Amino acid sequence: MMLHFILALILLATTLASDAMITVGLTWQVLKLGGSTAILGLFMFVTSCLPFALQKIGEKTRAAEWIRYMNQNPSRTFSQMRTLGICFAFVALLLSHHLTVWHLYLLVSLFTFVIFCSNRSLEANFSLQVLNKKISGNLASRLQQSAVQLGAFGGAGLGGFLVDHGGITGLSLGLIVTFLVGGFAFRFLKYFENLKFNVSEDQISSRSVALPVWCSFLNVAIVTIGIWSFNILVPILAQRERGWTASEFGMMDALAGLGAVLVIFFLKESRIRWSLFFFSAIGLGLAELTVGVWTWIPLVCLSAFLAGWFGNVIRVHARQDIYQHVKSPEQGGRFGSTLSWINLASRSLVPLVMGVVCQRVSASYAILVVGALMGLGSLALYIYAYSKTQASFS
């Protein structure tokens, strides 16, 4: 069981590395050609919003059958979207020596569409696996969240290396390989088998979502926005305000990633432990506040580790709660679409907002505010969701 989990984790992290490769590699090329990261972020945000909005509209139009196919065949849809990504990467490869800034903006939009639909299908796949009782919500959440983390860390480094040594040509070849893994390797893993699940018409038409589940969505959004803010603000803090070396910053960043990844090996409870939400929300806020206030490197590194740990505890538990409340493939598709949009919208908008914020206040002050909002926001959502959950049992 553990061997199969590790194999699935490696393959999933490998194909999801393409997401960070695209962000880092194309952003670098845009800056190299004199383009604007603000316009780039805007293109990413709009492109992530379009399929999310079209799904809402399409459920009442002729596109309903196509959306139902995506919901009931998420594994197959994931493979098809990664195959489409291979096609776009080949286009980038063929035009690599003739690309302008506006071509890069268009490529980012195309790849963002692939990433959105892929991530949506992946979230829906895990929801369907939990709904069919093939795997537990805890296992699905740990596998998904850890693969995203590992893919982001590995993809960012690999994307920078490929662009630095091979330009768009090198980046395109790397994307083709990672998309190939997602397009074909998952057919051989039981976590991604294409399931058929017959549900009643009442389940298909059901749109009711318990309030605690919406709290879980908001918790994922708060932590995701906070993590992206942390990734933007800490380099500014390290370089401009604290005078830390690149090695010290790298150590802190690596420890934050290590804390996030280690969660998957320790958080194996199948039930939702509300006490973990409580302590993790407080711990996350305090860890971020410590990074913003203290200058002693060992303490800051420890706080970065704890921020990564507590942040992932919240996200793993929130995803588990979401997966366990899915009632039909259609609802799983809607939940997956929401989670995918949260991630892409945060990735595209947070750098723009933090760039404006850091022109007016110091990075340390911004980290203090973000940390306080993350801790208090998650804590408030925990208290509200817990009270609703207890009331439902009384």
Q: Domain containing 326 — which CATH number? A: 1.20.1250.20
Full domain range(s) for residue 14: 2-196
123 and 50 within one domain:
yes
228 and 186 within one domain:
no
Of the ranges 27-36, 53-62, 164-173, which one carries the lowest mean pLDDT score? 53-62
Within a domain: residue 279?
A: yes
Within a domain: residue 204?
A: no
Closest CA to 332 of 225, 195, 156: 195
316 and 224 within one domain:
yes
Top mean-pLDDT range of 94-103, 173-182, 201-210 = 173-182
What is the b/e burial string over 177-206, where b = at least 16 CB atoms within 10 angstroms of the residue's CB? Answer: ebbbbbbebbeeeebbebbeeeeeeeebee
141 and 29 within one domain:
yes
279 and 179 within one domain:
no
Within a domain: residue 250?
A: yes
Number of residues that this document lists for the chain = 394
351 and 319 within one domain:
yes
As for how many domains the chain has, the answer is 2
229 and 173 within one domain:
no
* The pLDDT value given to residue 88: 92
Domain end among 170, 196, 222 = 196
* pLDDT tens profile 131-183: 777 777 778 888 888 888 788 777 877 887 888 788 888 889 999 999 998 87
105 and 79 within one domain:
yes
Within a domain: residue 206?
A: no
| More confident site: 27 or 205 | 27
pLDDT at 189 exceeding the cut of 70: no
Within a domain: residue 201?
A: no
275 and 366 within one domain:
yes
Domain end among 196, 231, 255 = 196
Helix (H) or strand (E) run with residue 179 in it: helix 137-184
Amino acid in the structure at residue 4: H
Cα 37 from chain centroid? 20
188 and 220 within one domain:
no
280 and 164 within one domain:
no
Domain end among 140, 163, 196 = 196
What are all long-range contacts of 293-302, with beta carbons under 8 Å and residues at least 24 apart? Answer: 293/364, 293/368, 295/242, 297/244, 297/248, 297/252, 300/252, 301/251, 301/252, 301/255, 302/255
